[in-house]
Amino acid sequence: MWGGQLAAAAPWFVASGGAMWPSELPAAPRSEWFRTNSFSYGTFCDVAHLCQLKRERDVLITLILPARNVAATIGDVLNAVASLRGARFPLLDQVIVIDSNSSDGTAAVAERAHVEVYEENRLMPRFGKALGKGDAMWRGLSKAHGDIIAFADTDTRNFRFEFISSIVGCLLTKPGISFVKASYRRPFDGTEKPVPDGGGRVTELLAKPILNMFFPELTGFVQPLAGEFAATRELLYSVPFFTGYAVEIGLLIDAWQACGLQSMAQVDVGLRVNRHQDLASLSRMSYSILRAALLRAASVGRILASDGGGPGMRLDGMAAYFHAVARSEGLCLDEYCETLLERPPMRIELA
């Protein structure tokens, strides 16, 4: 899957120390893709027309919602989604909530909305205990009937049905598109004075620099880590899923590898407001995303990864993550065990 197809996509050279870095790619292809494959949600606002296209093509559409301790928001998310499930606009045929051992009653809230609710560890049990968000998404895929499958986060505080209808609509109306990401503005309200575009800290400080360095072809995505995306069943069943928070960066790169940039698109859905994690949690999240991106860069020959003998270069499996921090009681060095695994393509598991 990670063969020589991309090795010829751009010139490379070996830098000191054995690392391989991409030379500067022409900006024109990226700019052209950004112009032709970026859309506004208003382009897909005619939900009745989308439902008609769905009927004509005889396709099913599934929405999968990974959820962990989101009882405060998942009810509103499902209320918005209900607009796409009724007799008037039957765009969604199946809605699945994958509960990740929530302790706040998330599953009960979801069940009251009359959707399918599964506890993550009861799906694909031979793989053992689920290991984070990506694992929950992958296990949910095993229950999906749709020809088009969408995912969305459930901690959004201003969820609108357009978050789903627009990305699904792009797949229904744009021939040749197989993978669609939502894009949006993200405010940060963790301070006394909210910052209108201050959200998405991991995206801006880690994901975009990493893509610029190793995968410049993908730098046109406004929200490369967005949890709201849709793709064809064929594509999602053909790629692996990283466990944990590495899942979005992995799927973005893998989709590009599988179908090419021209088969990918993004839709601006406006403003998305979600809960914010503390910096220590974001640091661990960033570590997982970094490892996944470097693993993919190594797999296509854009960096030479160590065989495990070098310090700090264990990209897959279990790895210790040390986080030094100053607290009121003094300096502390916290150690975490971060597990990064890949679940195999679902078509292999369900063959």
pTM of whole model > 0.85? yes
**Contact in structure between 258 and 302 (CB atoms under 8 Å):** no
Contact 292, 206 (CB under 8 A): no
Residue-by-residue DSSP string for 292-316:
HHHHHHHHTTSS----S-STT---S
Q: Pairing state of beta strands 94-99 and 116-119?
A: parallel
Give the DSSP per-residue string, 186-240: --B-SSSS-BTT---HHIIIIIHHHHHHH-GGGTT-S-TT-S-EEEEHHHHTTS-
pLDDT tens for each residue of the chain, 351 residues long: 333 333 333 333 333 344 444 545 566 678 899 999 999 999 999 999 999 999 999 999 999 999 999 999 999 999 999 999 999 999 999 999 999 999 999 999 999 999 999 999 999 999 999 999 999 999 999 999 999 999 999 999 999 999 999 999 999 999 999 999 999 997 756 555 565 554 467 899 999 999 999 999 999 999 999 999 999 999 999 999 999 999 999 999 999 999 999 999 999 999 988 666 777 778 888 999 999 999 999 998 888 755 544 454 556 666 788 889 899 999 999 988 878 899 999 999 987
Which residue from 125, 98, 336, 137 is spatially nearest to 244, judged by alpha carbons? 137
Class of domain 21-292: alpha beta
Let me know: does 283 contact 334? Beta carbons within 8 Å. Answer: no
pLDDT attached to residue 197: 55
Q: Which of 287, 311, 261 is nearest to 205 (CA)?
A: 287
In this structure, what DSSP letter does residue 156 have?
A: B
Tokens of 76: 């509103």
Residue spans of the domains in the chain: they are: 21-292
Which pLDDT value is given to residue 51? Answer: 98
